[in-house]
Amino acid sequence: MSTVATDNEDLSKCAACGKGGNGLKTCNGCKLVKYCNATCQKEHRPRHKKECKKRAAELFDEALFSKSLLKGKIVQSATCHCPLNLRNHTIHAVGK
């Protein structure tokens, strides 16, 4: 059973108790469900946790990607220039 709100569900109701009204608090992780208060959020958390983490990761990736765009071009990411000890390794020529 999905605990993340879909287009068919009423986003103006508490995900835990179903009460509606003004002043509902949005989940800080997924931004998709709402709660009356901390008690309702804690009660609903076990059912919501997995999907919330998944959506939170998606939101993080979207934000990270949008920040890496500069005038329509992707900015190169940082690279690590760590010295490699090649004494104990063999280098193979590819394609010969």
The domain locations on the chain are 1-96
| Interatomic CA distance for residues 20 and 36, integer angstroms | 8
Tens digits of residue pLDDT in 48-80? 999 999 999 999 988 877 765 554 555 555 666
| Interatomic CA distance for residues 63 and 80, integer angstroms | 23
27, 52 in Cβ contact below 8 A? yes
Confidence category of residue 2, pLDDT binned at 50, 70, 90: very low
Tens digits of residue pLDDT in 22-41? 899 999 999 999 999 999 99
Could you tell me which of 53, 63, 61, 17 has the C-alpha nearest to residue 32? 53
